[in-house]
A and B are shown apart, each in its own frame.
Chain A
Amino acid sequence: MRNEVSYYPEIQRFIEAQLKSNFKASSNRDLHVFWGIGELKANLQRIIAEHPLECACADNFSKRVPPLNLDIFALITDGQKFELLILEVKLVKSAGLSAWSQLVGYCLVSGAKYGLLLNIDNGGSPRLVQMLQTEQHISHIQELVDGGVREHLLGFMQWDSLTQNFEYSNLGVIKSLSDLSNRLVSEFTPPSGDGG
């Protein structure tokens, strides 16, 4: 019987491949995805130390982020900008509101913009499904931090361990990995100059 941690490598591999492919297809540039499992702050600093060229842009963030235990997170960067993606992975018959709350909490505390709740080979509880269908603000959260607005965009997907692929639920504001990729592309693509 596999535990949820044993699924981490295949999930990481798949997400990384989709994000990199989509970034390359859209902007003809390489995207870097670095993974950490467990404590956020120490792992971020390790990643930055190991890949200073690509990850220096996350240095200040790593200094102010509080210590926080996570399932998996990804530091996604093009070398100029970065975003944090948090994965809350479950291996349960149906993922419920408590799992969603965990993800929301992690994103708020860490400041991560993107979060995905992933259940392995199963979907969500009826209550979570209903909430995500009707209450968009619980997957598109905006908080006021130091006078500015910080955004958190979340989604819920099912990992299919047989096909090694995601089954989308269309629940939450992040509906697909290509949707997530598009958002990263638009954030990371420098605005074109107007020549004036």
Chain B
Amino acid sequence: MNTDKAYLLGLIIGGGIFGNAEDAFRIKLPYKKWGSYEENPQRAGQIAGDILRTVGQVFRAIYNVSVQYETTTGGNWTILCEGDTTALKADLTAYGIACEGEVRQDADISRVVQDLVDDNLKRRFIAGLADTIGSMAKSHRRFTDEVQILSFEMKGFNFTFVCNLCRLLYSVNCIPDQILWNHPNFHCGNDTYYPQWNKGFKLRIPLDQYARFGAFAFRTKAESSQANRSLQHQSHTTTPCPEREINVTPTCVHAAENDTRLPACIRGGHFIHNRHVCTVMGCEHAPYDKIAHELTNVGELVNPFPILSKKPLAEIDGIIAANPLFERRQYTVSNMTVVSLYNQYQVNDKTNLYGTSTEVGYPIAEIMQAIAYIIANNDELTGTRPKGYDAIIARHIANTPELCVEIRCPDLLTPLVIVGNGRGALVGANNSTVYARLVSRDADNPYKLRVRPITEEDLRNA
């Protein structure tokens, strides 16, 4: 190991793709809009320079491999590495990194990390990863420009890689503030019936923290880092994981929790918070006590039904027909004026409707979001997401005070069905005592929750 190899290993593990060719491989730089020559031709020129001058010269100096590049209008860049790759492959193999397909998908960096014997070597390796998969796109900002983010983005299901990378970053004081795990509880915590949950991992670090302790080798990345940080009015530091507060909101059970592509330690588990995953993965920085405390109220945090599912009505009808528990219900159908529900919501946005007690029933906040989706004009939606649900409701009831939606209320606390305008929504009830009975702990890992399917008996014996 040396500092130049550490950087190249970071690049290759971040974006390397090996095919059948013995004397060539590629490094994919998924820069998207940020690197598109149509969006920013000047930056695209600089990226080409970074590839040829920075990456190319290091590859040549260390492995005598030559470098070219390709790019697309969509901003995906590929570094083409050609030459005798024997020495490079031998190094990767010695670290247990298989030179097959997309390296990141299966890479275990634990042996590489063992050889990064000081912080400087770690930073060089991290710089290689940051140059490939570190994104500073606008979409990572937290509501405002004030906290700029560097997000390490990874597809696939390599939870161990993400966990090891997080530990490595933490060890050089680049403390991540959040991991978006590639798991349905985080990509679609509200909708049991959202199939496109496999959106990848995002390991997010406040850019200030990274700029102080991390590194980039690409000038373009360093310039973006400077430009983004200049939008902040003050500098930000990250609190170490064990000290940070945890805010947990309920998540619904998703069929893909059992997806066979998930690693065994994650598969079959339900997760209430991104750092709950850290406890199950056994990270030494995970907030074990805080998670254990949250798990004492698990019935309030797990919902076996969709918390809110918004779809075209035909799809909602299909979901109901396919689920015997929903299909067997007697539904009381009523037309409710939107204004009457909105008034209740404004009085108390924590109200539960159609329930058996103040704690049990359908949360009005989710009902109002469902209604906003149903009554919205097409141009007031982004997909199924209303562009400001409060404003949409206020606007529509101002124009049509008698505006109604159809509410189908089941005889047991299966999801409430709200219908109108060719659209439908399912709203799951709050029912913590019943839901708590569905949850058990994994025999091998006390932090891993398992949630069994809910039955009619569970609901009847509430």
Contacts and interface: CB of A to CB of B under 8 A. Distances in A.
B219 interface: yes
A179 interface: yes
Interface string A167-183: 11110000111110110
A163 B215 contact: yes
B117 interface: yes
Contact of A163 (B2, B118, B219): B219
Contacts of A24: 117-118
Interface in B361-417: none
A163 B222 CA distance: 6
B217 A178 contact: no
For the side of the interface on A, what is the size category? 20 to 34
B53 A167 contact: yes
B462 interface: no
Nearest to A175: B61
Contacts of A167: 53-54, 57
A78 to B, nearest CB: 16
Contacts of A17: 3, 120
A162 interface: yes
B223 interface: yes
A174 to B, nearest CB: 10
B: contact size bracket? 20 to 34
Interface string A148-192: 000000000000101111011110000111110110000000000
Interface in B75-122: 115, 117-118, 120-121
A178 B120 contact: no
B341 interface: no
A102 interface: no
A30 B279 CA distance: 37
B4 A163 contact: no
Contact of A177 (B3, B53, B118, B223): B3
Contact of B223 (A25, A28, A162): A162
A20 B2 contact: no
Interface in A81-125: none
Contacts of B121: 21, 25
Nearest to A17: B120
Nearest to B3: A18
Interface string B208-232: 0000000111110011001000000
Given A18-B120, A178-B62, A160 B219 contact: yes
A139 interface: no
Nearest to B221: A163
A22 B54 CA distance: 20
Contact of A179 (B61, B117, B127, B223): B61
A163 B220 CA distance: 9
B5 interface: yes
Nearest to A176: B61
A26 interface: yes
A178 B3 CA distance: 7
Contact of B58 (A160, A162, A176): A176
Given A168-B58, A170-B60, A175-B61, A20 B215 contact: no
Interface string A1-41: 00000000000000001101110111010000000000000
A109 to B, nearest CB: 28
Nearest to A123: B53
B321 interface: no
A181 B4 CA distance: 11
B223 A178 contact: no
A85 to B, nearest CB: 16
Given A160-B219, A162-B223, A170-B57, A178 B118 contact: no
Contact of A165 (B60, B118, B215, B226): B215
A55 B57 CA distance: 34
A181 B5 CA distance: 12
Given A21-B124, A25-B2, 17 more contacts: A18-B3, A21-B2, A21-B121, A25-B115, A25-B118, A25-B121, A26-B1, A160-B219, A163-B54, A163-B218, A163-B222, A165-B54, A167-B54, A170-B60, A170-B61, A175-B60, A179-B61
17 contacts: A17-B3, A17-B120, A20-B120, A21-B117, A21-B120, A21-B121, A24-B117, A25-B117, A25-B118, A160-B219, A162-B226, A163-B54, A163-B217, A163-B219, A167-B54, A176-B4, A181-B3
In the A-B complex, the 6 residue pairs with the closest CB atoms? A178-B2, A168-B57, A176-B61, A175-B61, A178-B4, A21-B120
